[in-house]
Amino acid sequence: MDIELFIFLLESTNSAYNRTNSHKTPPQRCPMDEEISKSAKKRQAETLQKIGLQLVELSPADLQKLPLPATLHKAIMEAKAMKSHGAVRRQALFVGKLMRTADHEAIIAAYEQLQAEAASLSLHFHEVEAWRDRLLAEGPDSLTAFIEEYHPEEIQQLRHLIKKAKQEQSGDTKTAARALFRFLRELIT
């Protein structure tokens, strides 16, 4: 009986030894399963926090265009209302935390599209402004170039607006220059 007990104890300790040491053999890992390093997580959190600060600077109308969860939208609106630098910094940390839990890739894509639209609008504005300044400064040659490029239907009205804006240049009012700008903005698309 003692021998049977000894064999039983020996077998049970061997199986217990195998269970406790089974973790020592590393499991086979796929390279795609590797975890993100702590530094990479910190960089990502910092990037999302900076994007959150940029979202705070947007107008409420632009914020409505983004796919923001209600909690993130509320946190951004609260950050807009804060005046204290420290409070804004803490709220930015909170916005960054909420960005990590939200679908930040969709938010970033929508934000970049919004920025691209704003840049396009600004570029269009500068092009119209350049044409207005060129028409006022260079005279008939620039008018001919404008007509060849954009083919406006109301050339006579364009000439009249240019003439009025040139007469008004020496004065304080710029109403004719603004009217010329509006006319050109509608022609240049």
Q: How many residues does the chain have?
A: 189
Burial track 152-165 (b if 16+ CB lie within 10 A, e otherwise): beeeeebeebbeeb
Q: What does the pLDDT read at residue 71?
A: 94
Question: Mean per-residue pLDDT for 134-153?
Answer: 89
pLDDT at 179 over 70: yes
* Identical fold between 39-102 and 120-187: yes
Identity (one letter) of the amino acid at 28?
Q
In three-state secondary structure terms, 154 is coil
Q: Where are the domains of the chain?
A: 39-102, 120-187
CATH topology of domain 120-187: Diphtheria Toxin Repressor; domain 2 (1.10.60)
Question: What percentage of residues in the chain have a pLDDT greater than 90?
Answer: 40
Residue 96 vs residues 11, 56, 71, 75, 86: alpha-carbon distances, Å: 55, 11, 12, 10, 15
What does the alpha-carbon distance between residue 69 and residue 131 come to, in Å, rounded to a whole number?
43
Task: Indicate whether 29 pLDDT > 80.
Answer: no
Examine the pLDDT at 24 and tell me if it is beyond 80.
no
Rounded Cα distance between 170 and 81, Å, is 44
pLDDT band at 167 (very low <50, low <70, confident <90, very high): confident
Residues 6+ apart with CB under 8 A from 51: 99, 104, 107, 108, 111
pTM greater than 0.85: no
pLDDT at 159 over 60: yes
Superfamily for domain range 39-102: PSPTO4464-like domains (1.10.60.30)
Q: State both tokens at 87.
A: 């409070």
pLDDT at 75: 93
| Beta-carbon count within 10 A of 18 CB | 9
